[in-house]
Amino acid sequence: MPPYTIVYFPTRGRCEALRMLLADQDQSWKEEVVTKESWLQGPLKASCLYGQLPKFQDGDLTLYQSNAILRHLGRSFGLYGTDEREAALVDMVNDGLEDLRRHCGHLIHHKREEDKAQYVQELPVHLQPFETLLSQNQGGQAFIVGDQISFADYNLLDLLLNHQVLVPGCLDPFPLLSAYVARLSARPKLKAFLASPEHVNRPIFGSRKI
Is the domain of 61 the same as that of 101?
Answer: no
Instruction: Give the model's pLDDT for residue 1.
Output: 67
Q: Give the model's pLDDT for residue 115.
A: 72
pLDDT on residue 106: 66
- 106 in a structural domain: yes
DSSP calls for the chain: --SEEEEE-SSSTTTHHHHHHHHHTT--EEEEE--HHHHHHSHHHHHSTTS-S-EEEETTEEEESHHHHHHHHHHHTT-S-SSHHHHHHHHHHHHHHHHHHHHHHHHHH--SHHHHHHHHHHHHHHHHHHHHHHHTTGGGTS-SSTTS--HHHHHHHHHHHHHHHHSTTTTTT-HHHHHHHHHHHTSHHHHHHHHSHHHHTS-SSSSTT-
**Which residues constitute the domain of residue 12?**
4-78+192-201
Q: Looking at the structure, do residues 94 and 70 belong to the same domain, yes or no?
A: no
pLDDT of residue 208: 41
Assess contact for 29 and 5: CB atoms under 8 A: yes
- Is there a domain that residue 196 lies in? yes
Residues 88 and 13 in one domain: no
Is the entire prediction scored with pTM above 0.85?
Answer: yes
Q: What is the mean pLDDT of each run of 10 residues along the chain (210 residues)?
A: 91 96 97 94 94 96 98 98 98 96 74 77 95 96 96 98 93 98 98 97 69
Q: What is the pLDDT of residue 103?
A: 81
**If DSSP states are collapsed to H, E and C, what string results for 100-130?**
HHHHHHHHHHCCCHHHHHHHHHHHHHHHHHH
Q: Are residues 92 and 74 in the same domain?
A: no
| Whether residue 71 sits in one domain with residue 89 | no
Query: Tell me, what CATH number does 145's domain have?
Result: 1.20.1050.10
- Considering the domain architecture, whether residues 71 and 90 belong to the same structural domain is answered as no
CATH code: domain of residue 196: 3.40.30.10
Determine the pLDDT at residue 116: 79
How many domains are contained in the chain? Answer: 2
Orientation angle between helical segments 66-76 and 151-166, nearest 10 degrees = 130
144 with 68, same domain: the answer is no
Same domain, 115 and 38: no
